[in-house]
Chains A and B, each alone.
Chain A
Amino acid sequence: MSISLEQVQRVAHLARIAINESEALATQSSLNGIFTLIEQMQAVDTTGVEPMAHAQDVAQRLREDAVSEADRRAAFQAVAPEAEAGLYLVPKVIE
């Protein structure tokens, strides 16, 4: 399996990472190296082995449903690029 230059550019776009043609080519080559490794791993017979969702074989800890966070809006908005009327302001987006 290998990844096309087009696919590299698409993934870069989805991740909002601007890359030029030469960076795209370099990335394609690195990614294809990774895919080669994956291919080798896929050759291993894993019949009957349950896939792991996490590198550590432990379960999620849970917290009780209680409000523990106070309002710290002023502190958070002090470091935001722009805020008004309690809202964070961002360049206009309309889908």
Chain B
Amino acid sequence: MTQWEVVIGIETHAQLATVSKIFSGASTAFGAEPNTQACAVDLALPGVLPVLNRKAVDCAIRFGLAIGAEVAAKSVFARKNYFYPDLPKGYQISQFELPVVQGGALTVQVGSGDKGYEKTVRLTRAHLEEDAGKSLHEDFHGKSGIDLNRAGTPLLEIVTEPDMRSSDEAVAYARALHALVRWIGICDGNMQEGSFRCDANVSVRPKGQAEFGTRREIKNLNSFRFLKEAIDYEVHWQINEIEEGRKIQQATVLFDPDTGETRTMRTKEDAHDYRYFPDPDLLPLVIERAWVERVRGELPELPAQKRARFAGELGLSAYDAATLTASQEIADFYESTVTVAGKANAKPCANWVMVDLAARLNKEGREIGQSPVSAGQLGGLILRIADNTVSNAIAKKVFEALWNGEGASADEIIEKQGLKQITDSGAIEKLVDEVLAANAPNVAEYRAGKEKAFNALVGQVMKAAKGKANPQQVNELLKAKLAG
């Protein structure tokens, strides 16, 4: 049996967060009536000329700095020639030989726990280009309808080296990239609206072979789930083809989410020949060092820096640090929680944000920004767990009460609903005595060596205390009494 190695490279189109188009002053707002945001330049009417949007360049610089890439002092726009009705000029303005961002890398966390590891994905380049319009193929008595609102929308195409070795690594990279472009404010990351879409170049080779296998490119994946499913299907398909003695042909394929399969769109023979050449309508883009330095000064603390700080200063695991920096919103929420609960409680804060809060948000399909429990309220609750005012079990009740708006703070709810933990050992001892007296069979079982009976007794004491007895004290007292 041949051992196969998967090789994946990803190209991502991120729509840049500008209000106007890359080469014209038409609006980029999503959802407008067809063709109401397509001006003479976007329509390629005769005599028009493109003028580059400064903000689009600014976004490219931000991205370049965020991934430690070289921001080219001079880059060049090129024409990518092909005919399609949603591309009125007959060419797309893109960058070819001299892209604005060159090199760089993104380090991502793949998996969790013992199986978790860090992976560095190298980036080849990122370049500025314009989006095409949209073709609608239905309902026009045999004709196609063209909406050019999207034509000219600024995109940053981000290209990796073929560094990923599994669909999990590909998804981890895509997620980290998605978080990063939102984090630095260059893209809204809305995948439903097509603001962030991925193409995956996939090939397989026998483990140990130096040369890459022939790759097929899966186009336009607009969710992380489709990215994973498409790669998994494609890998399986390619291995099967090779094992049955067929050769992989270079091709562009589409993923059908309904069938979970990929199908060929075009093969190498009819691959586009784009005949790139420098666009004579545009002069070279020159970026002065001072501009780059100004953008550097405006950058927020980046996910990687925050991750390192969470791991170092707060002592979190690599996985926790990565999860809590998955988006700026999560990181902000976590940091605000720690501000209230204190750095000594950094780990419980992480658990509450990543587990309890995340599960509750997930249940209602809410984002962390819409959490009814604020970071301050959660921090206040964690303080009461830390000082033994409530046990973890009761804390979950308090959390639920906060979620439902039953009080303004954990303290108020604990007070109002009488949830304060019983730590008075005299009171607990009384409860223990009562339970021991009433549960003689369990006591006998325990003494006969049945450990399980002990848990039953703990349960009885907690029940008698309405869950409010300090569990550790209950354990200790019970053990002592049973031993006596």
Contact = CB atoms under 8 A, between A and B. Distances in A.
Contact of A91 (B26, B53, B143, B147): B143
B286 A60 contact: yes
Interface in A41-95: 53-56, 58-69, 71-73, 76-77, 82, 84-95
Interface of A: 10, 14-16, 53-56, 58-69, 71-73, 76-77, 82, 84-95
B52 A87 contact: no
A67 to B, nearest CB: 5
B39 A87 contact: no
Given A58-B283, A66-B20, A93-B85, A72 B39 contact: yes
B286 A59 contact: yes
B289 to A, nearest CB: 14
Contacts of A66: 19-20, 25
B333 to A, nearest CB: 30
Contacts of A94: 137, 144
Contacts, number: 130
B284 A14 contact: no
A63 B51 contact: yes
A59 B85 contact: no
Nearest to B36: A71
Interface of B: 18-20, 24-27, 33-41, 43, 45, 51-57, 76, 81, 83-85, 98, 135-137, 140, 142-148, 265-266, 273, 275, 278, 280, 282-286
Contact of B34 (A55, A65, A85, A90): A85
Given A14-B81, A60-B282, A69 B25 contact: yes
A71 B34 CA distance: 11
A16 B146 contact: no
Given A63-B54, A65-B19, A86 B36 contact: yes
A69 B122 CA distance: 40
Given A60-B282, A61-B51, A67-B27, A14 B98 contact: no
Nearest to B281: A54
A73 B35 CA distance: 6
A60 B283 contact: yes
A84 B36 contact: no
Given A61-B52, A68-B20, A88-B35, 16 more contacts: A55-B280, A59-B283, A59-B286, A65-B56, A67-B19, A67-B25, A68-B25, A76-B45, A84-B140, A88-B85, A89-B144, A89-B145, A92-B143, A93-B85, A93-B137, A95-B265
B19 A62 contact: no
Interface secondary structure of B, over-half rule = loop
A60 B53 contact: no
B26 A69 contact: yes
A91 to B, nearest CB: 6
B401 to A, nearest CB: 47
A77 B56 CA distance: 29
Contacts of A67: 19-20, 25-27
A86 B33 contact: yes
Contacts of B266: 95
Nearest to A13: B273
B142 to A, nearest CB: 6
B35 A54 contact: no
B55 A65 contact: yes
Given A86-B35, A88-B35, A92-B142, A59 B284 contact: yes
Contacts of B142: 92
Contacts of A91: 143-144
Given A90-B85, A91-B144, A62 B26 contact: no
19 contacts: A54-B282, A54-B284, A59-B284, A59-B285, A60-B283, A60-B285, A62-B57, A63-B25, A63-B52, A64-B54, A68-B25, A69-B20, A69-B24, A72-B40, A73-B36, A76-B38, A76-B40, A92-B142, A92-B144
Contacts of A84: 140, 145
B144 A90 contact: yes
B264 to A, nearest CB: 12
